[in-house]
Amino acid sequence: MLELRSLCVSYGPVDAVKSLDIVVRDREAVALLGPNGAGKTSTLRAVSQLQRFTGSVIFDGVDLRGRKPEDVARAGLVHVPEGRRLFASLTVHENLQMGETARSGRAPSYSISDVYDLFPALRPLARRLGYALSGGEQQMVAIGRALVASPRFLLLDEPSLGLAPIVTKVVFAVLAEVGTRTPMLVVEQNTAIALNTCSRGYVLVSGRIGMSGTSEEMTDREGMLASYLGQHDAVVTP
Ligand SMILES: Nc1ncnc2c1ncn2[C@@H]1O[C@H](COP(=O)(O)OP(=O)(O)OP(=O)(O)O)[C@@H](O)[C@H]1O
Ligand SMILES: [Mg+2]
């Protein structure tokens, strides 16, 4: 469904992603893990054509190189970015309606009402403006809006970032349910919850894959996983 081949992203002299090969098959939820600065966001932005890269990004058999980001979104590759990016001056309900306009003719997979069922906490907030939401509420709206867009594939950048453990649980329970019908690539630093929800994972370290496997294999190699994820901390801790 989504295939990254020899993907490289550089910022001037800084090589952030170094010849990455990643495959996500139909109906598969895959975790992209790694410490700060590993190149996770750069990878997702390259897929969405928001970032220059070399190598190829193949979505459903089609090379996306040269497409505009809006065309990629129109093709059903829906990106929930780091920091959520809601429309601050629109209400929760209006933000969800923006998802409807992004459907581009695809049959609805989730209605706005389905989103309120998935995230009941949003129902009483329907008329609340975007700027007046907590981080967790914003994340629920951002994911809800992506679902209303009838995604053929979801890219999620650190959905748990800054959320309380209980909200993280709610968000991942929804992603687990969505993942039964929609393939996704989920960037996370919360390794345990990501591997619990996804069937496979890759660990990115300094722009390269340090480790990959099924979630079970990766959980079994806990020590190795921790050393990859802890590597960066060892560098920044005095
Ligand atoms: N616009 C930019 N200009 C220059 N360097 C950048 C830019 N964006 C990212 N980088 C660098 O590229 C590397 C990878 O960054 P990226 O944001 O992809 O990492 P990440 O894995 O998403 O990290 P985090 O977990 O902190 O979000 C880092 O070294 C970062 O400093
Ligand atoms: Mg990031």
Q: Which residues are registered as beta bridge partners of 184? A: 29, 154
43 CA distance to ligand 2 middle (Å): 9
Place of tokens 């709206």: 141
Provide the 3-class DSSP secondary structure of residue 132. Answer: helix
Say yes or no to pLDDT of 237 above 80: no
pLDDT at position 238 is 38
Say yes or no to pLDDT of 194 above 70: yes
Q: Give 86's pLDDT tier (boundaries 50, 70, 90).
A: very high
Residues 6+ apart with CB under 8 A from 43: 4, 7, 9, 17, 20, 22, 32, 187, 204
Q: Is the CB of 42 under 6 A from ligand 1?
A: yes
40 CA distance to ligand 2 middle (Å): 5
Amino acid at position 49, single letter: Q
Residue 135, burial from CB neighbour count under 10 angstroms (0-12, 13-18, 19+): middle
Q: Among the residues of the chain, which ranges form H helices?
A: 40-47, 69-74, 92-101, 112-118, 135-148, 165-178, 191-197, 215-220, 222-236
Q: Is the CB of 52 under 6 A from ligand 1?
A: no
Q: Is the CB of 160 under 6 A from ligand 1?
A: no
Q: What percent of the chain has pLDDT over 70?
A: 97
Of 10, 42, 229, the one to substitute when testing ligand 1's pocket (max ligand atoms within 8 A of C-beta) is: 42
Which residues fall inside 5 Å of ion ligand 2, going by CB? Answer: 40-41
pLDDT at position 78 is 96
Instruction: State the chain's mean pLDDT as an integer.
Output: 93
- Give the ligand whose atoms come closest to the C-alpha of residue 52: 1
Query: Which domain CATH number covers 128?
Result: 3.40.50.300
What confidence tens digit (pLDDT) does each residue in 35-74 have? 999 999 999 999 999 999 999 999 999 999 999 999 999 9
pLDDT at position 83 is 81
Give CA 34 to chain center in angstroms.
13
pLDDT at position 215 is 95
HSE of 191 in the Cβ direction (CA atoms, 13 Å)? 25
Of 22, 33, 41, the one to substitute when testing ligand 1's pocket (max ligand atoms within 8 A of C-beta) is: 41
Amino acid at position 226, single letter: A
What confidence tens digit (pLDDT) does each residue in 4-25 have? 999 999 999 999 999 999 999 9
Q: Which domain holds residue 24?
A: 2-236
Q: Is the CB of 41 under 6 A from ligand 1?
A: yes
- Give the ligand whose atoms come closest to the C-alpha of residue 82: 2
How many domains does the chain contain in total? 1
